[in-house]
């Protein structure tokens, strides 16, 4: 049997570890998002990888139309043909992502398309000093994809690869580019690549922050439900064999009820991201206490909008749960009243 003091010390230690883990995870958020990328797995985890692919598909026809409108029939056939082929190949990559394509395979395929497409357009299109701008926008999407999968270092490496790639494009295009013109274009293209890294890195941070919010909500929910019940069980186990048999039956019933409640919470759509309202949450808390023998009457207004943020609502529910469990464990009473008043 675990003594009340031992159970309290264990609860304090677990609660402290939970808080420290939350702070440590928040501290690692920015570094992990910007410098390590993400582990793209799980249901819908790779959906964000479709964003740079969608950009690549959308930017090609737009840039091609601008080019054709500005330069007429001159060199438009290779531009349009290459754009169509790149769009089709990118769409196949997007289909592969939806079917669970490994990120490293996606990176390899998209990089090959971006490099080969730019070199091909440099070799066959004219006037080259403007036509290559069509395919270069595609490469910016490739840089963003590298940032999402490999973090900012991966994106910067892809942007650095664009410098010799652009030089090779200038060499293939013939002597039409003066040295100064090539340098200016190189700087502009590098700026576009760095902008792609910045945008993708910001998206990485937002994705990791959302994932952290979900994990924190799950951690808080488990701490305030299952852990509290286990603490109560440990603190009320009797030494008397006869009472132990009776208490064992109660523990089995409580464990079954907790398992059902936890399964229901995990199965509820958006349970971690959209917690219940205050009154609904209090009803759940009172149900937990009722299984332990505490009858609680709830006096609360019938409203769906309590005006509380998710964090404050969770804090109120945790405080109510802990207070009622203290009533059950220390006062010896079997009845309690919870009154809720919403003030503007």
Q: What residues have CB less than 8 Å from 141, skipping those under 6 apart?
A: 52, 53, 55, 56, 59, 110, 114, 196
Query: Given this model, what pLDDT does residue 135 score?
Result: 79
Which of residues 11 and 139 earns the better pLDDT score? 139
**Tokens 């019938």, residue located:** 302
Per DSSP, the three-state class of 315 is helix
The average confidence (pLDDT) of the chain is: 71
- DSSP states along 323-344: HHHHIIIII--SEEEEE-----
Highest mean pLDDT among 22-36, 114-128, 135-149, 292-306: 135-149
For the stretch 27-83, pLDDT in tens is 454 455 455 555 554 444 467 788 888 988 988 888 777 777 766 655 577 778 888
The dihedrals phi and psi of 336, each to the nearest 5 degrees, come to: -155, 160
Query: Given this model, what pLDDT does residue 125 score?
Result: 63
For the stretch 150-167, pLDDT in tens is 888 888 888 888 888 887
**Strand boundaries in the chain, DSSP class E:** 295-299, 335-339
Torsion of CA 138, 144, 146, 148, to 10 degrees: -150
Query: Given this model, what pLDDT does residue 179 score?
Result: 45
Q: What burial class does residue 158 get, using C-beta atoms within 10 Å of its C-beta: 0-12 exposed, 13-18 middle, 19+ buried?
A: buried
């Amino acid at each position: 049997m675990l003594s009340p003091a031992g159970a309290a010390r264990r609860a304090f230690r677990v609660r402290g570890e939970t808080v420290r883990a939350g702070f440590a995870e928040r501290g690692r958020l920015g570094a992990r998002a910007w410098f390590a990328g993400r582990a793209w797995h799980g249901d819908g985890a790779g959906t964000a990888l479709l964003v740079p692919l969608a950009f690549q598909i959308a930017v090609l026809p737009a840039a091609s139309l601008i080019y054709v409108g500005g330069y007429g029939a001159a060199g438009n056939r290779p531009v349009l043909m290459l754009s169509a082929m790149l769009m089709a190949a990118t769409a196949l990559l997007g289909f592969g992502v939806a079917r669970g394509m490994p990120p490293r395979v996606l990176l390899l395929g998209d990089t090959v398309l971006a490099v080969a497409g730019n070199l091909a357009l440099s070799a066959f299109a004219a006037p080259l000093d403007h036509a290559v701008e069509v395919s270069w926008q595609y490469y910016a999407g490739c840089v963003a994809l590298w940032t999402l999968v490999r973090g900012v270092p991966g994106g910067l490496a892809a942007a650095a690869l664009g410098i010799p790639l652009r030089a090779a494009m200038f060499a293939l295009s013939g002597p039409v580019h003066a040295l100064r013109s090539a340098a200016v274009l190189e700087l502009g293209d590098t700026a576009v690549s760095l902008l792609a890294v910045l945008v993708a890195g910001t998206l990485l941070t937002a994705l990791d922050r959302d994932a952290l919010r979900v994990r924190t909500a799950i951690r808080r929910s488990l701490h305030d439900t299952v852990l509290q019940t286990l603490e109560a069980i440990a603190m009320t186990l009797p030494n008397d064999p006869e009472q132990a048999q009776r208490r064992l039956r109660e523990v089995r019933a409580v464990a079954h009820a907790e398992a059902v409640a936890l399964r229901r919470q995990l199965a509820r759509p958006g349970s971690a991201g959209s917690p219940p309202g205050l009154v609904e949450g209090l009803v759940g808390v009172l149900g937990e206490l009722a299984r332990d023998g505490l009858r609680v009457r709830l006096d609360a207004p019938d409203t769906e909008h309590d005006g509380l943020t998710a964090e404050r609502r969770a804090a109120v529910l945790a405080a109510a749960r802990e207070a009622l469990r203290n009533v059950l464990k220390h006062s010896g009473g079997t009845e309690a009243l919870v009154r809720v008043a919403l003030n503007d």
